[in-house]
A and B are shown apart, each in its own frame.
Chain A
Amino acid sequence: MSSPETTPSVGTARVKRGMAEMLKGGVIMDVVTPDQAKIAEDAGAVAVMALERVPADIRAQGGVSRMSDPDMIDGIISAVSIPVMAKARIGHFAEAQVLQSLGVDYVDESEVLTPADYANHIDKWRFTVPFVCGATNLGEALRRITEGAAMIRSKGEAGTGDVSNAVTHMRTIRAELKRLSSLPEDELYVAAKELQAPYELVAEVAREGKLPVVLFTAGGIATPADAAMMMQLGAEGVFVGSGIFKSGNPAQRAAAIVKATTFFDDPDVIAKVSRGLGEAMVGINVDDIPVPHRLAERGW
């Protein structure tokens, strides 16, 4: 037991990871303006993600993609009362410092933006604000947690409306977790080497059978059924990027995905909320994207 403290401690691992626990069973929506943030809040989002351009537009327009304008983030923070997350480039600790100073509630060190450092991710322990990071497999998730990530999401392939990569990443992480927890203790040393993650963390995950942080899904979710499938595959919540504001009726689609995430295991509810939503985002097949343009390949 810790000795009684008379002063509050901020930025502890429990406080950072605990924030993500509060988002479970919820939907976090990409927004680029205060108006979109308000629509997301009214639809029942548990948080919004502020970024400069949604992934579909980053794909279409190309160029270097960066942290959102501080004025825009301020505007979004004032527009809503739910948590506001914002994206920083991989390795760009100064963008993360700015986001912390603006008072955002979570930083997404995101492959959707152009990476700033091709060797190092941000040392996330140095921050009071918690971080979420993307992962395509268990080793990548554990390396991000080692660097201080307090929440993990599948990468998927952002901006496509094609859920297939998110499925692959969630299934991979789930299968690797299962395999790890079935290993005898004396094989965990080699497992740690193969996962390129510290032994202590690998042993903890093997014992618990789950990550020590919340696991969400992201990247290509565009419909209520997409969200329901990802939840059935073991996601604890959902990020929706371009899927909402690139669709025909954002407010209605957003509310439908929120409902589908709560009742992910009830096909009658999914069927009901999937009616009359209008056009889904048009989307791109991940297979049609040349490998160098795939965002999930960023980060390691």
Chain B
Amino acid sequence: MSTPTIGVLALQGDVREHARSLVESGAVAVAVRRPEELDQVDALVIPGGESTTMWKLAVAFEMFDPIQQRVKAGMPAYGSCAGMIMLADRIEGGIEGQQTLGGLDMVVRRNAFGRQVDSFEYDLDLPGIQGFRAIFIRAPWVESVGNDVEVLARAGDRIVAVRQGPLLATSFHPELTGDARVHSYFVEMVREL
């Protein structure tokens, strides 16, 4: 799988930016809105956007269960911001009844860094990636992680990037910077699995 096909969940959010970074990292990127499109991909990116909207649309268009099953079956997935919320086993600050796809053994707090006036840029390091300009927008943080979750980065003392096996999640938006190193990291994960 030297050139993996990676889907970007295209129900809502910054789909095009993720697709661009994936292509730059050597993958084929396709938009995924329907179950049959999900069947065609080796891995899935869940973009930034509004997690409550994505959840409702995923349920309405019968995407929720198929994605959850693929994730359970070991499909690699990467979520940024809203995508991190979608991949969390448990969330704080969701709306009533809000479900997540889950997969990552962690608790994520929605909008934890505050409102838009508190949104910020910050330089941080990830394993093998030095000085990454991270953009946080009404961003969540990880409150706590299970034993099998590797913490990849923190902003101050807050956990903002994690990995558990084939699943990767960041509070911030590497797709907005034009720096594709986080996407390359994910594409490498997909190649290895």
Chain A: residues with CB nearer than 8 A to chain B?
1-2, 4-6, 8-12, 14-15, 18-19, 21-26, 41-47, 80-83, 100, 103-106, 128-130, 255, 258-259, 262-263
Taken together as a complex, chains A and B put the C-alpha atoms of A263 and B57 apart, in Å, by 10
CB distance from A227 to the nearest CB of B (A): 13
Contact B116–A105 (Cβ < 8 Å): yes
Interface residues of B in 103-156 (CB under 8 A from A): 110-111, 115-123, 131, 133, 135-138, 155
- Cβ contact of B121, chosen from A9, A129, A255, cutoff 8 A: A9
**Beyond the given A4-B131, A21-B176, could you list 14 further A-B residue pairs with CB under 8 A, ordered by the A residue number?**
A8-B155, A18-B173, A19-B116, A22-B49, A22-B138, A24-B12, A26-B50, A83-B115, A83-B138, A103-B117, A129-B116, A129-B117, A130-B116, A258-B57
Contact A82–B50 (Cβ < 8 Å): yes
CB distance from A9 to the nearest CB of B (A): 5
Contact B119–A81 (Cβ < 8 Å): no
Contact B50–A258 (Cβ < 8 Å): no
Contact A25–B52 (Cβ < 8 Å): no
Name the residue on B nearest A77 (C-beta): B115
- Cβ contact of B14, chosen from A12, A21, A41, cutoff 8 A: A21
Interface string of B170-182 (1 = CB under 8 A from A): 0001001100000
CB distance from A84 to the nearest CB of B (A): 8
Taken together as a complex, chains A and B put the C-alpha atoms of A292 and B117 apart, in Å, by 37
Contact A44–B53 (Cβ < 8 Å): yes
Contact B110–A45 (Cβ < 8 Å): no
- Cβ contact of A22, chosen from B48, B61, B95, cutoff 8 A: B48
Taken together as a complex, chains A and B put the C-alpha atoms of A298 and B126 apart, in Å, by 49
Taken together as a complex, chains A and B put the C-alpha atoms of A21 and B174 apart, in Å, by 13
CB distance from A204 to the nearest CB of B (A): 15
Contact B95–A81 (Cβ < 8 Å): yes
B82 within 8 A of A: yes
Interface string of B1-27 (1 = CB under 8 A from A): 000000000111111110000000000
CB distance from B10 to the nearest CB of A (A): 7
Taken together as a complex, chains A and B put the C-alpha atoms of A226 and B22 apart, in Å, by 33
Tally of contact residues, B, Cβ under 8 A: 44
Contact B14–A262 (Cβ < 8 Å): no
Contact B53–A10 (Cβ < 8 Å): no
The 10 residue pairs across chains A and B that have the minimum distance between CB atoms:
A8-B120, A105-B116, A44-B56, A25-B12, A46-B50, A21-B14, A4-B123, A15-B119, A8-B122, A44-B53
Taken together as a complex, chains A and B put the C-alpha atoms of A262 and B140 apart, in Å, by 24
- Cβ contact of A5, chosen from B17, B95, B122, cutoff 8 A: B122
Contact B121–A12 (Cβ < 8 Å): yes
CB distance from B180 to the nearest CB of A (A): 14
Interface residues of B in 53-83 (CB under 8 A from A): 53, 56-57, 60-61, 81-82
Q: Which of A1, A24, A25, A26 has the largest number of chain B CB atoms within 10 A?
A: A25
Taken together as a complex, chains A and B put the C-alpha atoms of A111 and B101 apart, in Å, by 41
B93 within 8 A of A: yes
B33 within 8 A of A: yes
| A to B CB contacts below 8 Å, 26 in the list | A8-B121, A8-B122, A10-B118, A15-B137, A18-B119, A21-B173, A22-B13, A22-B82, A22-B138, A23-B50, A25-B11, A25-B13, A25-B49, A26-B49, A26-B53, A44-B53, A44-B56, A44-B57, A82-B50, A83-B116, A103-B117, A104-B115, A128-B117, A255-B56, A263-B33, A263-B61
CB distance from A75 to the nearest CB of B (A): 16
Which residues of A lie under 8 Å from residue B122 when comparing CB positions? Answer: 5, 8-9
CB distance from A53 to the nearest CB of B (A): 24
Taken together as a complex, chains A and B put the C-alpha atoms of A42 and B94 apart, in Å, by 12
Contact A81–B60 (Cβ < 8 Å): no
Taken together as a complex, chains A and B put the C-alpha atoms of A263 and B32 apart, in Å, by 11
Which residues of B lie under 8 Å from residue A14 when comparing CB positions? Answer: 121, 135, 176-177
CB distance from A49 to the nearest CB of B (A): 14
Which residues of A lie under 8 Å from residue B57 when comparing CB positions? Answer: 44, 258-259, 262
Taken together as a complex, chains A and B put the C-alpha atoms of A125 and B26 apart, in Å, by 37
Which residues of A lie under 8 Å from residue B60 when comparing CB positions? Answer: 255, 259
Taken together as a complex, chains A and B put the C-alpha atoms of A173 and B60 apart, in Å, by 33
Contact B133–A2 (Cβ < 8 Å): yes
Contact A10–B82 (Cβ < 8 Å): no
Name the residue on A nearest B132 (C-beta): A4
- Cβ contact of B53, chosen from A18, A129, A258, cutoff 8 A: A258
Which residues of A lie under 8 Å from residue B177 when comparing CB positions? Answer: 14
Which residues of A lie under 8 Å from residue B117 when comparing CB positions? Answer: 10-11, 100, 103, 105, 128-129
